[in-house]
Amino acid sequence: MKALLNRWFGARLFSGSAQYWEQRYLEGGTSGSGSSGALARFKADFLNGFVERHAIHSVVEFGCGDGRQLALARYPAYTGIDVSQAAVALCRKLFEGQQQFRFFTFDDRPGYAGQYDLALSIDVILHLVEDAVFDTYMRELFAAASRFVVVYSSNFDGAQRGSPHVRHRKFTDWIARNVPAWKSIERIDNPFPHEPARPSETSLADFYVFAPDE
């Protein structure tokens, strides 16, 4: 009964993705279970290897969260952007003194048209429940990159019952319609596919890599 009440009140009180994440971080919440344990290590291993293989010099991430995933990264230069002021404050404190890391709120983000070798979206798209927010986010993500965009996300349309902050999207359809010059060049399946009995240790997301068509 308590779980049902929590889900009901959560849905009633949810008033937008930005406010949800700001409040979650202010109350001591985290970016989620995917930012720790085996899932985090899988993501870090792939991304660190990708950066090394492709001689990536600059990375921007749209949705840096609480920085736990980033703590496993090896990036020469990194800019993290998040809609939550609380998340940005957490990251600035966690990486204080590390000059290769910079953090900004989405409202205070610097100009970056095509400035970065690699733009990242890791476990974010499924939390963009508003259509306008999703569209703006995707346009910013692809506008920032010059060589690669890497997305880690589910890729189907559908809400998640009892989780008003989750909305799965077939984001590859958006890319085909809106940034057709960017082509899918690689997909890496998650080695821990979703199991309902183990939601904190498994995931519906996979890696998708995009590059401009030449």
Per residue in 65-96, pLDDT (tens digit) is 999 999 999 999 999 999 999 999 999 999 99
Q: Does the pLDDT of residue 144 top 90, yes or no?
A: yes
Q: What is the DSSP annotation of 109-163? A: PPP-TT-EEEEEEES-GGG--SHHHHHHHHHHHHHHEEEEEEEEE--S-EE-TT-
Domains and CATH numbers, the chain: 2-212 (3.40.50.150)
Range with the poorest average pLDDT among 4-13, 130-139, 148-157: 4-13
Q: Does the pLDDT of residue 168 top 90, yes or no?
A: yes
Q: Does the pLDDT of residue 198 top 90, yes or no?
A: no
Q: Which residue has the higher pLDDT, 34 or 177?
A: 177
Which residues are CB-contacts of 38 (< 8 A; sequence separation ≥ 6)?
A: 192, 201
Name the average pLDDT for the chain.
88
Calculate what percentage of the chain has a pLDDT beyond 70: 91
Structure confidence at residue 11 as a pLDDT band (50, 70, 90): very low
- Tokens (6 digits) for 31: 């970016």
Mutual orientation of helices 131-144 and 171-178 as an angle, nearest 10°?
60
- 195 secondary structure, DSSP code: -
- Tokens (6 digits) for 120: 């990242």
Q: Which residue has the higher pLDDT, 3 or 156?
A: 156
Total-model pTM: 0.88
Structure confidence at residue 14 as a pLDDT band (50, 70, 90): low
Calculate what percentage of the chain has a pLDDT beyond 90: 68
